[in-house]
Every structure is written in structure tokens, then in C-alpha cells.
Homo-oligomer: A and B are copies of this chain.
Amino acid sequence: MAERRTYHHGTLRQALVDGAKEILAESGHEQFSLNEVARRAGVSTAAPYRHFRNRDELLGAVAEEGYATLADKLENADGLAALGGVYVRFAHDNPGLFVTMFRSRPGGTESAAGRAAFETLLRAVSAAQHSGEIATHASPEITARSLWVTLHGLAVLHLQQPHDRYGLGGEPEQLAATTLSALLGLKSD
């Protein structure tokens, strides 16, 4: 990172979030280290504690930005199949970030962006139900939740089966299309 001439960094908080994203992209969630983030930002290992209570809170801020990015990408997808492709593609392209976003942390706070992402999916499901593209076995809410669950499972398992085990190693868009087609009879043209 750029040299710092002043005693105070000025924009350390965002620099830490950005650095954390970098590390997650390079080395994955398991290798993440708060000390390493501080080193990259050119500050002491104690500095981050002026902006975050602990390591988890920094990762939470990172996750929040991840949710916002994902919600935005989902918004620009048209149709259920495309939505699914975007979701799995996001996990594929940002595995460290994705794991950080959805790692088990009981009691985690609700994310506004996460909710927005779900609303986008919900709208797509409602439209597909009304157009008859998919069957109406349940309410839009339940159906959307069920589809989210499916896409999430697909993303998670895709990330950890790099050797194409169970055929889960293919291209994200293809995987999403095949899976939605198998469950819903959804055509993905």
C-alpha cells in the first residue's frame, strides 16, 4: 500500500476493509489474519482496534459490503435462471468473501443488503409464478426461500468440490441452469 506520511492514517477503517477483502481473495477465509491486514495498511497491529472491536467485527463489515455487491449483481439479472447463475458465479469468483459472508456466526445481525437480495429473488419468483413459467406449489415467499436455499447449497458445494466430484465442478451458470431445470422443469434459454 501507499506510504503514509502523517501519524494518522486518515481513512484507516476503509483501508482495513479493503485490505481484508484482498487477503480473502488471495488466501481465503481460513488464512485470514488481522495482523496481516494491519501490516498491509501500514499500521501497527493494535490500530484496527480503534475502528473495530475485534476481528469478527471487521469481517462483519467486509461481509456487509459483500452483501451489497451481491444484491446489486442480482438486481441486474433477468429471470430465475440468470439469477441463479449470478449467485453461484459470485461465490465462484469470490470464494473467500462468500465464505466470510455466510460463515456460521450465531446471533449475527440482519443485513439490509442481504434482505434486499432476497427481495429481488422474491420478485423474480412471483413473476415466474404468474407467467406460469414455474408451478405454484407454495406461496412466493416459501418458494423464493426454497430457491435461495437451493442456490446457496449449490454455491457452497461447488466451492468445495474442485475436482468436479458429483459433477459440481462445472461452470456456475451451467450448474444453476441444470439444477433449476431438474427441480422445476425450468427452461433456461
Binding site for B on A (CB under 8 A): 28-30, 95, 99, 102-108, 110, 118, 135, 137-138, 141-143, 145-154, 156-157, 159-160, 162-163, 165-168, 178-179, 181-185
With the chains together, A138 CA to B187 CA distance in Å? 12
Which of A30, A146, A181, A182 gathers most chain B CB within 10 Å?
A: A182
Q: Give 8 closest A-B pairs by Cβ, nearest first.
A: A153-B153, A138-B182, A152-B153, A149-B153, A146-B182, A137-B185, A150-B150, A146-B179
Residue from the list B145, B160, B181, B182 in contact with A104, Cβ < 8 A: B160
Chain A contact residues, majority secondary structure? helix
Which B residues are in CB contact (< 8 Å) with A168? 145, 149
Given A153-B151, A166-B118, answer yes or no on A183-B146 (Cβ-Cβ < 8 Å).
yes
With the chains together, A95 CA to B166 CA distance in Å? 24
Q: Is the CB of A104 within 8 A of B153?
A: no
Residue from the list B143, B163, B167, B182 in contact with A143, Cβ < 8 A: B182
Which B residues are in CB contact (< 8 Å) with A95? 104
Which B residues are in CB contact (< 8 Å) with A108? 160
Q: Is the CB of B104 within 8 A of A30?
A: yes
With the chains together, A104 CA to B30 CA distance in Å? 9
| 9 A-B contact pairs sorted by A residue (CB < 8 Å) | A29-B104, A30-B104, A102-B156, A106-B160, A138-B178, A143-B183, A148-B153, A152-B156, A183-B184
